[in-house]
Amino acid sequence: MPRNIAVEKLLQTPIEKQRTEIVERKCVGHPDSLADGIAESVSRALSKAYLEECDAVLHHNTDQGEIVAGESMPKFGGGKVTRPIYVLLTGRATKTFDNVTIPTDSIAVEAARKYLKETLQFLNMDSDVIVDCRMGVGSSDLRDVFKACGNNTLPHANDTSFGIGHAPFSDLESIILGVSSHIDETVRPKHPVIGTDIKIMGLRSDDDISLTLCVPMVDRFCSDMSDYVEAVEFIKEDVSKFASSKTSRKVNVFVNTGDRVSENSVFLTVTGTSAEMGDDGSVGRGNRCNGLITPQRPMSMEATSGKNPINHIGKIYNLLATDIATKCVNEVDGIEDLYVRLLSQIGKPIDQPFVASAQFISDGTCDDAKIEKEINALLDDSLENISEITRRVIRGELKTF
């Protein structure tokens, strides 16, 4: 059956030429990102256990769940979490299959705790967090199980839903992703005072870029307010330098603009995340699967993290659309901006979307018909090989937030 593919040329000011652009990223320790990370790590742990026990990935979805903030008393030199962060795991997982029982609740709790331990190094796992679980029993529908042997018929979409992706990244988008990685990989290892719950808000006004960062400082590494102020200055300088090196535009960096130093009201934390006090988080409220929140770009509201990679269209189509967009931009000449949307209809095979739509903005260097044709072919081919996405998720190769 031929696929319903629609490729369309858009007449539109490309993002780089729009006067104002806003992009946001919630880094790894943000409560919403923590929720995403936990949800995805639970799904991966379940997938792994299913494969080991049943030679197939069974139905599950853990794309919900809630992080309820604790209470803390940060203080210079080192304070305390006074009320543990409460993490509620929800969702559903198949518990029995062919007379094999899979310890889904225990797997979920363990995966969540492991993820938190690895992500928040200053969180005391015995006193600062409660990981609770109210996971339900999943459907025992065996129609769409993903078998390890590879001998699978195509699963059916679990929902009427859509996924969206775009490419290439704009200058501002690249900078923000770059700053985030730079801090995580280069700065924090040497400067543990820099907490993980960083929010980066980027604004480009013509050729001026403003990055507004909220950066929690870890109290045990600040002996007093001057240490704190110094850390704020340091990260401001460092990010300015790094960002400026990545663009020819002018970059302005703001850090912790809400601080009122004279009133001792600053962003000091015990563990480096505001989940320790005041900020709840939930799955799917933060970054899209490309790591960004991009209000000028089409976005899906579907959570990518925690959904199962077999037939949960909200996950598969978001990842696939992003993958296709990137591929097209890499392989097809003449594209300035590309938006890919995949819309499913519940119950239909996942390689047969209700519509697969691509909208491109041409850079004017190539023939439109040729671009359309090549995108069309790439879309068709990617849908033909859609189970590759499932396999890559199971292997842990794809980021979801």
What amino acid is encoded at 369 in this protein?
A
Shortest spacing between CB 19 and its own copies, in angstroms = 4
- Name the residue type at position 292: L
- Residue 149: CB minimum distance to its own copies, A: 25
| Residue 231: Cβ-neighbour burial (10 angstroms; 0-12, 13-18, 19+) | buried
d(CA 150, CA 63) in angstroms, rounded, equals: 25
Which CB sits closer to its own copies, 261 or 388?
A: 261
Q: How far apart are CA 362 and CA 67, in angstroms?
A: 43
> Between residues 13 and 226, which has the closer beta carbon with respect to its own copies?
13
| Look-up of token digits 């104002």 | 20
**7 beta partners:** 358
CA torsion sign for 299, 301, 305, 311 is negative
Shortest CB 318 distance to its own copies, Å: 11
Q: Which is nearer to its own copies, 203 or 377 (CB)?
A: 203
Cis check for the bond before 349: say yes or no (omega within 30 of 0): no
Q: How far is the CB of 173 from its own copies (least distance, A)?
A: 15
Q: In terms of CB distance, is 122 or 162 closer to its own copies?
A: 162
Do the Cβ atoms of 173 and 292 come closer than 8 Å?
Answer: yes
The CB-of-240 to its own copies minimum distance in angstroms stands at 17
Distance CA 163, CA 168 (A): 17
Q: Write a three-state SS string for 193-247.
A: CECCCCEEEEEEECCEEEEEEECCEEHHHCCCHHHHHHHHHHHHHHHHHHHHHCC
Nearer to its own copies, 380 or 392 (CB): 380
For residues 107, 394, 330, 301, the Cα torsion angle rounded to the nearest 10 degrees is -50
Closest by CA position to 91, among listed 68, 117, 116, 59: 59
| Pick 191 or 285: Cβ nearer its own copies | 285
**DSSP letter for each residue of 315-381:** HHHHHHHHHHHHHHHHHSTTEEEEEEEEE--TTSBTTS-SEEEEEEEE-SSS-HHHHHHHHHHHHHH
The smaller minimum CB distance to its own copies, of residues 160 and 385, is found at 160
Give the SS3 label for residue 136.
strand
Nearer to its own copies, 83 or 392 (CB): 83
Q: Which is nearer to its own copies, 357 or 382 (CB)?
A: 357
